[in-house]
Structure 1
Amino acid sequence: MCGIVGYIGHQPAAPILVEGLTRLEYRGYDSAGLAVLGSRGTTAVRRVGRVRELQAALPSRLTGKVGIGHTRWATHGPAVEQNAHPHRSGDGRISVVHNGIIDNAATLRTQLAQDGVTLLSDTDTEVIAHLIARSEAETLEEAVLDALSRITGTYALAVLDERHPDRIVLARSGSPLIIGIGDKEMLVASDVAALVRHTNQVVHLDDGELATVTPAGYRTFDRGNSPTTREPVEISVAAEDLELSGYPHYMLKEIHEQPEAAAMVLRGRLDERFATARLDGLGLEPRELRGFRRVKILGCGSAYYVGQLGAQLIEDLARIPADAEAASEFRYRKPIIEPDTLYVAVSQSGETADTAFAVEEIKRKGGRVIGLVNVVGSTIARTVDGGVYLHAGPEISVASTKALTNMSLAFALLALHLGRLHDLSHADGDRILRGLQRIPEQLEEMLSRAAEIEPLAREIAKARSAFYIGRVHGYPVAREGAQKLKEISYIHAEAYPTSELKHGPLALIDEEMPTIAIIPDDELAERNLAAAEQVLARRGPLVAITHASVGLGHLDARTILVPKNEPELDPILLTIPTQLLAYQVAVLLGHDVDKPRNLAKSVTVE
């Protein structure tokens, strides 16, 4: 969500901060600001709107070589300038940028006001700046520790102090924070995307850890002010990976990157000799995997819907009970953590706060949890017991596409691996393996026919609401399709199991309510066609995402044909047209496809 950048070194800080904030725009924000510390003190500039508006407002001569910047997504208080970051102490000495939420901010605000402090914003962050400034500690590090001792909640903090212009102090608890190592310069960011032009060596702070960065290096320590050891790691993301490369939107670029991304997640993981998947990163021996009697999948948003698809794959291939649950609800219902359950956390960014907290709850109670994560070195990737990296490459658009497809493929690999450890025959294992090998080529085929969807998109763009329906394997596809349409086109969309249509939703079907039906060629095709008949009988426009082998007969439906694969793998391919449809509808309606309103790429607060 919110983005943090920081710089200290031998170059003017402002241009580097602006560039870093621009790199973080995809995370979602409504205001931006920076503070640069120079020989005459701190210059702070904040603006509501885009980073380009902040850049236009900067003084022409802003030469300080240490600074912090922020893009804010409103939580406490509306998107107005006084609520934008950085926030400063009353005397202007302390400047703070913060991601996360301070739970006891209201109490602290009351206490500060009673002590005569004037609060200028509605935010929780401002209290941190005042607490640090009011500390009697001799060092900035000790002052930050004093402030942290009084707050509860989640935070990633970067702090400047005019009395200590040679350093930035950082703190992390529940929200990501990364140090970038340069040549006589150091950088700070909440996301590696802000660092890739300047370094490929980074340090990930752990929860409860703090750091001091100076031009010469960094020092990490814990809440007790005792040193910690944190070694740099190399990142593989290149700056060109974050460019549009001639596409009008990142979402379209990432849709078209799916064949290559799919090949990457499968590469080296298909064992033809034993007709299984090779998943060394799980860190689990066959005997341990056979000991699990249930699989519980946890994710949020699209990752949750892919988790439902994954649960079906595991039940189909491994014959182990499996289900998916919204990670955002999991820890609040006092879950029973069973020793014979394998927990799977799914997150593109690896920083999704609700999912990370669910992982912590499982581990605290002794459960075994693995991750399906795209970002190496992310919080969830470092917390879980093992896992499968998605290898989708950087994903910038808020609406996930290629990472989503790679999640599905990773679940197929996990299901195949578990299946072959149980009762899945060599012949069926080989059948699934061959199906997986066909998927990159089939993705390429579908994307080559993307223009065929545009006439359907023009019809859907006229609607105010839409239904997505699917049965069993098609239902997670329907849920994800509805999610995509609503989040980037702002058209209200609902997903229902096809069998539930007659139990209430059918009342809403009329000439202005289109239905997108997921109709694979499987044992339920006839029942799905019968439901389509019910929609058409009520004059509802119908779009069928289906296989050529499904005979629609006399049905007056617009069709989107998908290549046929194995029945268990068909949902992966059936999802692709829902991405293209949502994208084209959003473009036709003139929306900002990559930055849908009110949403963020990486949801790092509850």
Structure 2
Amino acid sequence: MCGIIGYVGSENAVPIIVEGLKKLEYRGYDSAGIAIYGTDGFNVVKQKGRLAALESRLDGCPIAGTMGIGHTRWATHGEPSDINSHPHVGSQSKIAVVHNGIIENYKQLKLRLERKGIPFASQTDSEVIAQLAEYYYNGDLLDTVIRVSGALEGSYALGIMCLDEPDTLIAVKKDNPLIIGVSDHGHFIASDVPAVLKHTNKVYYLNDKEIAVLQKGCVQFFNLDKEPLQKQLETITWSFDSAEKGGYPHFMLKEIMEQPKVLKDTIQSAINNGDNKKVIDNLDITRFNKIVITACGSAYNAGVVAKYVFERLCRILVEVELASEFRYKDAIIDEKTLVILISQSGETADTIAAMREAKVKGAVTLSIVNVVGSTIAKEADFCIYTAAGPEIAVATTKAFSAQLVLLYILAVGFAVKLGKISGEQEQELLSQIAALPAKLSALLTQVDMIQKYASTCVGYKSIFFIGRNIDYAIALEGSLKLKEISYIHSEAYAGGELKHGTISLIEENTLVVAISNCKQLFGKIMSNVEQVISRGAKVLLIGNCLDVEQNDKLSSISLPESNELFSPSLSVIVLQLFSYYVAANKGLDIDKPRNLAKSVTVE
């Protein structure tokens, strides 16, 4: 949520910052702004709405300078508006700030400052930071940032400039991501790598309560005691082109089509002596009597799929918890519990909190993330990485699929260590997993058929997804994907639960998407199909257990044969494409759906 970009160097900062903000649009935002250090002080331009509106403002009042900060805001405190947009400047126009996160004690700080006669212009918690920094400023910006950090409660990633220090940009973070990029012409702060990748692939990852002091020729790091820190410069291995659309109309479609390669790379890293395999081999599952999987959104749905696979293969108790609930429920976990945390960004606030709660209680933590250097990756006891590369569309596709295959491979590896399957069975299961990329490639040749069917579904007010067993688990993801990007109400139900109340929602011309990959349950799901058709619904049947005659009420899309435990990797491709084309036919902003953010870094 929110995006930060800052630059200090030898080039005009304005186009660099605007371009960086465009690369951060996927994080979700409702307003944007930029502050440039100019010859007559800070030049600030802020605008509610999309970046195009900000660019129009900048075209009308051009500004320039070699140091500046920019921000895309996702509103938390105060409605989306020009005045509530970032950057915020203190009442003396001396300090400018951009902020990602939530300041939990802002009301107390604001009241204290107002009592001292300091006027506030916005409704935001973030303005408190700028006002407090001006109040504390004593001629040394680093000292001021240290003092401000000590006063703030909550989460923050900050970029700060001061009028008295025209060549210095300072960054500090706590519980929100921030990277430092270094290049020949200047240095950067940013919320994520894509914002700086055009200029550099050399970055530092800030840890919590670390401060970066950027100047044109150098970057220095300090802790909150002002002690110098030595940090390792990292090299980003994926290219700038991988964060571009590559001729596709949307990032989401590009990322759907990339999944065969993503799965192949992720599988190889986990079974062919890659780094992931080393981690999996070193994890002794026999120490534990329970596995808890915790995550949010699509990552949670991956966990629900994994529960079926782990319990079937490993015969070990598995619980799946929403991270936002786990952190408050006083979970029953101890040193004999393995907690698996799943997060694309590695910065999901609720999942970070769940991880820390689990560690306090003595559990061992294993994370599955896509971003090297992220908070969850660094703090978990063990970490394995999806090989998804940058995922720009807010609605996850390829990262979700990569999470699934890693969970499958974990389950197989654990089952061997627990003595539940033989070495021969292990090799057979791993060969079935290794065959998935080719099956995905074959499935993606059916795009035209899926697109044609989706074009008939634009007018539906509600769409329901049903499945049984592991098909129900992936139905959850199909429903979430549709509602995320098409704004059509959808729900997923276990097929057997329809008659326990939810069938009352079925009426004439309702669409029901039914998933069937479990052979022993094909008759059961077809009974559910007949029940909803008899009440006026139309049905789209997806699966590899299809022996049906299509008609005006029943259509079907066939999947390649697969082990039912791994079939969600095939079902989800059709569900993603279906959702994408429904939204595309509605003419919606698919990559940046309203009110949503890619990385949910605040509670």
User: Could you tell me the TM-score, scaled by structure 2's length?
Assistant: 0.96
- Contact kept, 8 Å, 1:11 with 1:65, in 2: the verdict is yes
The partner residue of 2:362 within 339, 361, 366 is: 366
1:277 CA displacement = 10
- The residue number in structure 1 matching 2:349 is 353
Match of 2:516 in 1: 519
The match for 2:44 is 44
Task: From the superposition, tell whether residues 278 and 420 of structure 1 become closer, same or farther in structure 2 (CA, over 3 Å).
Answer: farther
Mean alpha-carbon deviation: is it higher for 1-10 or for 237-246? 237-246
1:337 positional shift: 2.9
| Alpha-carbon distance in structure 2 between the residues aligned to 1:454 and 1:63 | 46
In the TM superposition, what whole-angstrom CA distance separates every residue of 1:471-508 from its partner, at most 9, and x where no partner exists? 11011111101101101000000111111111000011
2:22–2:51 Cα contact (<8 Å) kept: yes
Q: Which moved more, 1:299-308 or 1:184-193?
A: 184-193
Q: What's the secondary structure of 2:254's corresponding residue? A: helix
The 8 Å contact of residues 546 and 558 in structure 2, kept in 1 or not, is answered as no
2:19 maps to 19
Matched residue type, 1:499: G
Indicate yes or no: 2:28 matched with 1:28: yes
Q: Deviation at 1:528?
A: 1.0
Task: Map 1:534-545; keep pairs closer than 5 Å.
Answer: 534-545=531-542
* Equivalent position SS for 1:515: strand
Which of 404, 418, 424 aligns to 1:408? It is: 404
Q: CA offset at residue 352 of structure 1?
A: 1.2
Question: For 1:224-274, what per-residue CA distance to the aligned partner results, in whole angstroms no more than 9, with x for missing partners?
Answer: 222222221111121111111110011011111111111111125336xxx
Distance of aligned partners of 1:521 and 1:476 in 2 relative to their CA distance in 1, 3 Å threshold: closer
Deviation of 1:303 (Å): 0.4
2:296 maps to a residue whose letter is C
Alpha-carbon deviation of 1:340? 1.1
Residue 603 of structure 1 corresponds to which residue in structure 2? Answer: 600
Partner of residue 578, structure 1: 575
CA RMSD, Structure 1 to Structure 2 (Å): 1.7
* Aligned match of 1:487: 484
What amino acid is the match of 1:370?
L
8 Å CA contact 1:96–1:160 kept in 2: the answer is: yes
Give distance in 2, aligned partners of 1:449 and 1:361. 45
Question: Partner residue of 1:212?
Answer: 213
Question: How far off its partner does 1:137 sit?
Answer: 3.0
> Equivalent residue for 2:253?
252
CA contact under 8 A between 1:521 and 1:550: conserved in structure 2?
no
Q: Is the 8 A contact 2:543 2:557 kept in 1?
A: yes
Q: Helix, strand or coil: the match of 1:485?
A: helix
Give per-residue Cα distances to partners, 1:418-471, cap 9 Å, x unaligned.
111122122321221121121111101111111111232133211101111111
**Secondary structure, counterpart of 2:456 in structure 1:** helix
Indicate the SS of the match to 2:515.
strand
Counterpart amino acid of residue 20 in structure 2? G
Matched position secondary structure for 1:76: coil
1:278-317 deviations in Å (ceiling 9; x for gaps): 844527636x322122111111100000111112111112
Distance 1:268 1:395, change over 3 A: closer
Q: Which residue number in structure 1 is paired with residue 440 of structure 2?
A: 443
Question: Aligned residue for 2:63?
Answer: 62
Q: What is the CA–CA distance in structure 2 between the aligned matches of 1:281 and 1:165, rounded to whole Å?
A: 48
For the pair 1:498 / 2:495, whether they are aligned, the reply is: yes
CA distance in 2, matches of 1:428, 1:557: 38
**What SS class does the counterpart of residue 333 from structure 1 fall into?**
coil
**Offset of residue 522 of structure 1:** 2.1
Partners of 2:280 and 2:564 in 1: how far apart? 30
The alignment covers a number of residue pairs equal to 600
The whole-number CA distance in structure 2 between the counterparts of 1:430 and 1:290 is 20
Query: What's the % identity of the aligned pairs?
Result: 40
Q: Is the 2:271–2:277 contact (alpha carbons within 8 Å) kept by the matching residues of 1? A: no
The yes-or-no answer on 1:463 pairing with 2:460 is yes
Are 1:305 and 2:301 an aligned pair? yes
Q: Give 2:389's match in structure 1, choosing from 377, 390, 393.
A: 393
Q: Identify the residue that residue 90 of structure 1 maps to in structure 2.
A: 91
5+ long unaligned stretches in structure 2:
none
C-alpha contact 1:277 1:414 (8 A) present in aligned 2? no
Q: Deviations over 1:525-550 (max 9, x none)?
A: 11111111111111211111121x43
Tell me the residue number matched to 1:182.
Answer: 183
Q: Secondary structure at the match of 2:460?
A: coil
Distance 2:268 2:276 in 1: 11
1:587 Cα deviation after fit? 0.6
* 2:253 partner amino acid: L
Contact 2:11-2:185 within 8 A present in 1 as well: no
Counterpart residue number, 2:264: 263
Give the equivalent residue in structure 2 for 1:3: 3
Q: Using the alignment, how far apart are the partners of 2:304 and 2:358 within structure 1?
A: 19
2:325 pairs with one of 323, 329, 339: 329
In 2, distance between residues paired with 1:554 and 1:261?
A: 34
- In the TM superposition, 1:108-119 aligns within 5 A as 108-119=109-120
